[in-house]
Amino acid sequence: MPPTVAVVGGGISGLAACYYLARSPNPPKVLLLEASARLGGWLQSTRTAEGTVFEHGPRGIRPGGAVGADTLHMVSQLGLEGDILPVPGDHLASRNRFLYTGGALHKLPSGLGGLLQPVPPFSRALIWSGLQDLLAPAGTEPDESVHSFAQRRFGREVADIAVDSLCRGVFAGDCRALSVRCCFPALFQAERRRRSVLLGLALGSGEQRGAESELSRRARSERWSQWSLRGGMESLAQALGTFLRQSGVELRCQAPLRRLQRHRDGRWQCPQDARLSFPVPPPPLLSFPQLALPDGTITADHVVSALPAAALAEVLPPEAEQLAQELRRIPAVPVAVVNLQYQGVTLPVTGFGHLVPSSEDASLLGIVYDSVAFPQHNGTAASSVRLTVMLGGAWFQQSFGDPASVAPALLLQRAQAAVREQLGLEPAPTHSIVRVQQACIPQYTLGHWRRTERIRQFLAEQQLPLSLIGASYAGVSVNDCIASAKAAVGQLLGGLC
């Protein structure tokens, strides 16, 4: 009998874990448990009868690095090459990105000219910030806030405007609270290696390439900045679901775990209407688990948790309180995603979109010009303008109140006002969708690396047959989530097969 692996959570991390398990030379029996009625997690796309696609989560994936190549290899294996929508390096959505400060849009500097002379909203040429980085001594602290790091390396103005906006765009978070070591490990390691961030990045880290495919070679040659799929990003989750069913993986939706417990033989057990829990075994714990669910009991030899850290903490029993405490210290913020479609209007600028620093408007993270990067998603309304307004993040509570009870009409009104004020689009949108994505982006605050180390140490010392994957630990992007699943499966199969 092959061993049984239960994967908890059917977002992109859990789906990727099942994918790698199913494709292994000696695949175990795999069961995927998802609490909701659908697979895909934050990969959510609405496709209208007119062929218009609205994204309520990630809207594009970067192809760069080993993790980007691995994701493209997965796409190739799933037969989705013909659905790829690339954004090449010479596209306006790749070249033009904007900041909204001082009541005006400003294009971020690009090319040598933008570095040698002052370009608003910066009061001095950015070459001086680069020179500061080359001359500044390397940091000595084991961790530092992103803002402090950027100010020390590049100056206060870059930290207050550019880096503040970047953290809001990527993490929907406050750069003064986020950890540079965990949010931007490439920058942190570049300084450690070469004393200068710019030198460290220029000289590289010797990172190995990911899985080679015709798609990844094409992405490099055409210098893609990002890519999507013709049917929207949720198509990736749907293709994974189809592949897993054909591969014999059991997919169970609307199967929330209530408690995780250990069977007397050491295996995981999930009893009906019970939370996932551990009975108290003598330490170290035995290495054979068993699972149980709301509608019955399931036996498994290993559990892969793709749940958010806080959600996993809530289903752990008292005897795993040490682990639960560390998991609860990894917060996540909500984001309101407001999709808007306009007819008969023209954007004042053309590019990927614009970000808004917290000093300008804390409630508004930025606006993405979806119809510029992916006009194919306009459907039959080819000349329409599609925008996504991102609201809240770390500032949600102070700006809009409780994300669980905020009125969608309030968020729609705020989004339309931002589009009028910042892009000059006066008409009402012809189509709008408001989604509040609760606790959707984990926040790697100062000391996050120590927390994840303590979590790993606890799992190892207790010999728990439990793997933790997903955005809560080592990267929030789709690529990072897939990479965490691949790494966990690789480590697991060495012990199972």
- If you write DSSP's letter for every residue of 403-441 in order, what string do you get? TTT--HHHHHHHHHHHHHHHH---SPPSEEEEEEEEEEE
The helix or strand, by DSSP H or E, that contains position 46, with its residue range, turns out to be strand 45-47
At 285 the pLDDT is 38
Residue 25, CA distances (Å) to 20, 21, 372 in order: 10, 9, 43
Look at residue 53 in the predicted model and tell me its pLDDT: 97
Q: What are phi and psi of 131, to 5 degrees?
A: -65, -40
What one-letter code names the amino acid at 326? Answer: E
Q: Are residues 435 and 412 in contact, defined by beta-carbon separation less than 8 angstroms?
A: no
Return the structure tokens found at 313: 């903490």
Q: Digits of tens for pLDDT over the chain (497 positions)? A: 788 899 999 999 999 999 999 999 999 999 999 999 999 999 999 999 999 999 999 999 999 999 999 999 999 999 999 999 999 999 999 999 999 999 999 999 876 666 778 889 998 888 989 999 898 898 889 999 999 999 999 999 999 999 999 999 999 999 999 999 999 999 999 999 888 998 988 887 666 666 788 899 999 999 999 999 999 999 999 999 999 999 999 999 999 888 877 655 555 455 443 333 333 333 443 333 555 566 667 778 899 999 999 999 988 877 789 999 999 999 999 999 999 999 999 999 999 999 999 999 999 999 999 999 999 999 988 889 999 999 999 999 999 999 999 999 999 999 999 999 999 999 999 999 999 999 999 999 999 999 999 999 999 998 888 999 999 999 999 999 999 999 999 999 986 64
Identify the pLDDT of residue 286. Answer: 33
> By C-alpha distance, which of 242, 287, 227, 329 is closest to 461?
287
Instruction: Identify whether 284 is preceded by a cis peptide bond (ω within 30 of 0).
Output: yes
Q: How far is CA 308 from CA 91, 165, 440, in A?
A: 35, 25, 9
Report the alpha-carbon distance of residue 490 to residue 485 in Å, rounded: 9
Entry field: residues in the chain: 497
In angstroms, rounded to a whole number, what is the distance separating the alpha carbons of residues 263 and 288? 9
Structure tokens at 17: 């874990």
Task: Note the pLDDT of residue 290.
Answer: 54
* Beta carbons of 31 and 17 less than 8 angstroms apart: no
The predicted structure's pLDDT at residue 213: 86
Closest CA to 397 of 450, 445, 335: 335
pLDDT at 95: 93
> What is the DSSP code string of 355-405?
E--TTT-TTEEEEEEHHHH-GGGGTT-TT-EEEEEEEEGGGHHHHHS-TTT
Which amino acid would we find at residue 176? Answer: R
- The Cα-based distances of 364 to 61, 349, 350, 387, 488 in angstroms read 23, 19, 20, 14, 36
Q: Which token pair is 39?
A: 């697979």
User: Residues 6 or more apart from 38 whose CB is under 8 A from it?
Assistant: 10, 253
| pLDDT value of residue 269 | 57
For 91-236, strand residue ranges (E) read 98-101, 104-107, 226-229
pLDDT of residue 234: 98
327 token code pair: 């998991």
d(CA 120, CA 108): 8
> 178 - beta bridge partners?
445
Could you tell me what percentage of the chain is helix, strand and coil, using 3-state DSSP and rounding each to the nearest 5? 40, 20, 40
